[in-house]
């Protein structure tokens, strides 16, 4: 198992991509802290993993709050003894609804700020919270979940707040890779394509993604499980000399 005895924190870990990451890491031997604003859902996942003989801990955390992120890191270190991996997955987009197909000049400042608080400031706060632990042990892996749509050159996306927030996270990935490298901490990103999560797995959502499928080299729906392998790779020793990179997992819809 590639993550045997490693300790991982996955934000937004109770649903969708985050849940798939939690399950994939646990299968690879990691002890996982499941951080989510929906504590009951995180606790259900913790129980499922415990029934399979895997170690997990559910914690309520709003990543836009300094105190929540600090407490999240403290609980991981206290409960499991260390912090090796952080996956910044929590975001305002799917389960937490935002305006889509809305021109930028019609977005409210409040919605713009909420998206930035969670999608850009949240990962910054989480990185800052885990860094002392990773620095002390001279080892760490940070994986930021961005989006392939940031690199799109065509189409009329019309969710400027989301794209801008993920662009900020791509910039943060590169900046922190430089700063944290001297402490043997790698910082990389994964850019999924349009992914069918459990929150959007209805017939209407599948139909909505027909356009995305048509634009891919691989002509099928993208599922959370398609992204797990990349997340495991970037958290494992196999990627120890890779940092500051964005790995596109989108079925060939965009080449980065």
Task: Using the structure block, give the residue that is written with the tokens 């990962």.
Answer: 123
In the chain, domain spans: 7-249
Q: List C-alpha distances in Å: 128 to 19, 125, 153, 180.
A: 23, 5, 33, 11
pLDDT at 94: 59
- Please list, in sequence order, all residues whose beta carbon lies within 8 angstroms of the beta carbon of residue 156, skipping any fewer than 6 positions away: none
Distance in angstroms (rounded) separating the CA atoms of residues 52 and 25 = 13
Q: What is the pLDDT of residues 124-178, one digit of tens each?
A: 999 999 999 999 999 999 999 999 989 886 555 678 889 999 999 999 999 999 9
Look up 139 and say whether it is catalytic.
Answer: no
Q: What is the pLDDT of residues 7-40, one digit of tens each?
A: 999 999 999 999 999 999 999 999 999 999 999 9
pLDDT at 212: 83
Q: How confident is the model at residue 208 (pLDDT cuts 50, 70, 90)?
A: low
User: Residue 15 gets which letter from DSSP?
Assistant: S
Q: What is the DSSP annotation of 164-221?
A: HHHHHHHHHHHHHHHHHGGGTEEEEEEEE-SB--GGG-SHHHHHHTHHHHHTSSS-S-
Task: State the average pLDDT for the chain.
Answer: 92
Domain range 7-249, CATH class: alpha beta
Instruction: Find the catalytic residue in 15, 162, 183, 223.
Output: 162
- Is the pLDDT assigned to residue 203 strictly greater than 90? no
Task: Using the structure block, give the residue that is written with the tokens 């500051």.
Answer: 244
User: Residue 81 gets which letter from DSSP?
Assistant: S
pLDDT at 104: 86
Its pTM stands at 0.94
pLDDT at 153: 60
User: Residue 149 gets which letter from DSSP?
Assistant: G
Beta pairing partners, 187: 142
């Amino acid at each position: 198992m590639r993550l045997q005895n490693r300790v991982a924190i996955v934000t937004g870990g109770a649903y969708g991509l985050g849940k798939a990451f939690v399950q994939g890491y646990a299968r690879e031997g990691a002890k996982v802290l499941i951080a989510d604003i929906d504590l009951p859902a995180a606790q259900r996942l913790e129980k499922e993993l415990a029934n399979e003989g895997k170690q997990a801990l559910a914690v309520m955390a709003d990543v836009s709050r300094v105190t929540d992120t600090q407490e999240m890191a403290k609980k991981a270190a206290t409960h499991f003894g260390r912090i090796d991996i952080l996956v910044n997955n929590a975001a305002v987009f799917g389960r937490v609804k935002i305006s889509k197909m809305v021109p930028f000049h019609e977005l409210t400042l409040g919605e713009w700020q909420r998206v930035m608080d969670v999608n850009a400031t949240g990962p910054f706060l989480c990185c800052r919270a885990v860094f002392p632990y990773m620095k002390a042990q001279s080892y760490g892996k940070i994986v930021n979940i961005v989006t392939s749509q940031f690199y799109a050159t065509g189409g009329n996306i019309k969710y400027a707040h989301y794209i801008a927030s993920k662009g900020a996270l791509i910039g943060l990935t590169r900046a922190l890779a430089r700063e944290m490298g001297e402490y043997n901490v790698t910082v990389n990103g994964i850019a999924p394509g349009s992914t069918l999560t459990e929150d959007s797995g209805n017939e209407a959502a599948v139909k909505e993604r027909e356009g995305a499928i048509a634009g891919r080299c691989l002509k099928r729906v993208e599922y959370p499980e398609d992204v797990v392998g990349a997340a495991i790779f970037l958290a494992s020793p196999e990627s120890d000399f890779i940092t500051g990179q964005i790995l596109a997992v989108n079925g060939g819809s965009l080449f980065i």
